[in-house]
Amino acid sequence: MIQTAFLGDVVLTTPLLTVLAERHGPVDVVTTPAATPLLETHPAVRRVIPYAKRGADRGITGIVRLGRALRAERYAFAYLPHRSLRSATLAIIARIPRRIGFADGWRLLYTGSRQRPATGHEVDRLLALADVASHHQTAPTLGLTAADVAAAEAALRAGGITATFVALAPGSIWGSKRWPHYAALAEQLADRAGIVVVGSAEDVALGEEISTAVGRSGGRCVSLCGQLTLRQSAAVIRKAAVLVTNDSAPLHFAQAVATPTVAIFGPTLPSFGFGPRGPRDRALGVDGLACRPCSAHGPARCPLGHHLCMQSLRVEDVLHAIEETGALHRRD
Ligand code: SF4
């Protein structure tokens, strides 16, 4: 499989990987260096081949070099869930005789194409690539190791988190998808649970803002932004009573580890197919805004300047959604 899309997309591809592994045996996956750790321990995966399409492997030189390396493996099939010209070209250079992609991708470069459902959840749309209408495995999965779990537990202990906690994931690579009220939410929650902030090195300032706010109210908060690997972060989310997140990769991590999720949607909609699916999960957004949704991914900044799709989603609304999950009453 060649899947070089964003981290969240890679996580949502894991049910498809499971189906393909049942059909063909464990799968070799070409993916981004960032997503490599997410797949290298996955039970459906035999080997991960990192492809730095915007780094050391960029341009046609990189495609040809990697394509030749793949050619030596004599693969029989290439599955191409990402509708990318680069991926299709790579499979051709690798001389993979059967290349399966979506009909609305680069159809002329494939030897077999499947209709990508126009609606439904992204997991199910991706499963259509394997001609599977439904499958027992519709939640994403991650191959967390004992070492990942131990590292997560050690980080929580070091941060003084020893009982029920709420995980917050305030980041997103798309600025307009960041809900701006996480610190106020954390202050409100701090007398009921510990607060743990998860995120990348880019989210350190957000984590500090939340920690400072909780500290003011006398609560317990630790920011692990930039301190853990992706799998260790998923292991932290697994231990949380509930995760509050934007429409970003941690949402899909929570789905993979079955943690109740409150997902906040601003410029995008859950109906795009990337929302949480668990019976206790909640997806929130501001209804009635004429400008919403404004793009498929969410722009870096609100093009109208007011960012009402996020600014006007209140802390009370998120607290209510957390109550509806029942998570703070049920898990330790
Ligand atoms: S244009 Fe509307 S939907 Fe888009 S970011 Fe601004 S407020 Fe949100």
Question: What are the tens digits of pLDDT across the range 192-247?
Answer: 999 999 999 999 999 999 999 999 888 999 999 999 999 999 999 999 999 999 99
Render pLDDT for 52-76 as a digit per residue (tens, 0 to 9): 999 898 999 999 999 999 999 999 9
Residues in the chain: 332
| pLDDT of 89 higher than 60 | yes
| pLDDT of 30 higher than 80 | yes
d(C-alpha 58, C-alpha 142), whole Å? 28
Average pLDDT score over residue span 85-90? 96
Query: Measured in angstroms, how far is the CA atom of residue 163 from the centroid of ligand 1?
Result: 38
Tokens at 159, concatenated: 């941060």
Containing H/E element for 186?
helix 182-189
Task: Give the closest residue to 37 by CA, choosing from 169, 151, 196, 208.
Answer: 151
**Mean pLDDT, all residues of the chain:** 95
Render pLDDT for 234-259 as a digit per residue (tens, 0 to 9): 999 999 999 999 999 999 999 999 99
Query: Measured in angstroms, how far is the CA atom of residue 292 from the centroid of ligand 1?
Result: 6
Confidence of residue 329 (pLDDT cuts 50, 70, 90): confident
Render pLDDT for 122-165 as a digit per residue (tens, 0 to 9): 999 999 999 887 667 689 999 999 999 999 999 999 999 999 99
Ligand 1 within 6 A of CB of 267: yes
Residue from 284, 297, 307, 310 whose mutation best tests the ligand 1 pocket (most atoms within 8 A of CB): 307
pTM of the model: 0.93
Strand partners, 223: 197
3-state secondary structure of 10: helix
Ligand 1 within 6 A of CB of 285: no
Contact (Cβ atoms closer than 8 angstroms) between residue 264 and residue 197: no
Which residue's CA is the nearest one to ligand 1's atom 7?
Answer: 307
Ligand 1 within 6 A of CB of 286: no
| pLDDT of 330 higher than 60 | no
Render pLDDT for 280-295 as a digit per residue (tens, 0 to 9): 999 999 999 999 999 8
3-state secondary structure of 254: helix
C-alpha 58 chain-centroid distance: 24
- Number of the ligand 1 atom closest to the C-alpha atom of 301: 5
Residue from 286, 297, 308 whose mutation best tests the ligand 1 pocket (most atoms within 8 A of CB): 308
Tokens at 52, concatenated: 């730095």
| Max Cα–Cα distance, the chain, nearest Å | 63
- Number of the ligand 1 atom closest to the C-alpha atom of 289: 2
- Judge if the upstream peptide bond of residue 293 is cis by omega within 30 degrees of 0: yes
C-alpha 272 chain-centroid distance: 14
Question: What separation, in Å, do the N-terminal and C-terminal C-alpha atoms of the chain show?
Answer: 39
Ligand 1 within 6 A of CB of 81: no
| pLDDT of 331 higher than 90 | no
d(C-alpha 235, C-alpha 88), whole Å? 34
More confident: 188 or 134: 188
Which residue's CA is the nearest one to ligand 1's atom 5?
Answer: 302
d(C-alpha 245, C-alpha 247), whole Å? 7
Contact (Cβ atoms closer than 8 angstroms) between residue 39 and residue 29: yes
Tokens at 116, concatenated: 């990508």
Percentage above 70 pLDDT, the chain: 98
Q: Which sign, positive or negative, has the C-alpha torsion 124, 129, 135, 140?
A: negative
Ligand 1 within 6 A of CB of 62: no
C-alpha separations of 36 from 33, 231, 243 in Å: 5, 11, 24
| pLDDT of 2 higher than 70 | yes
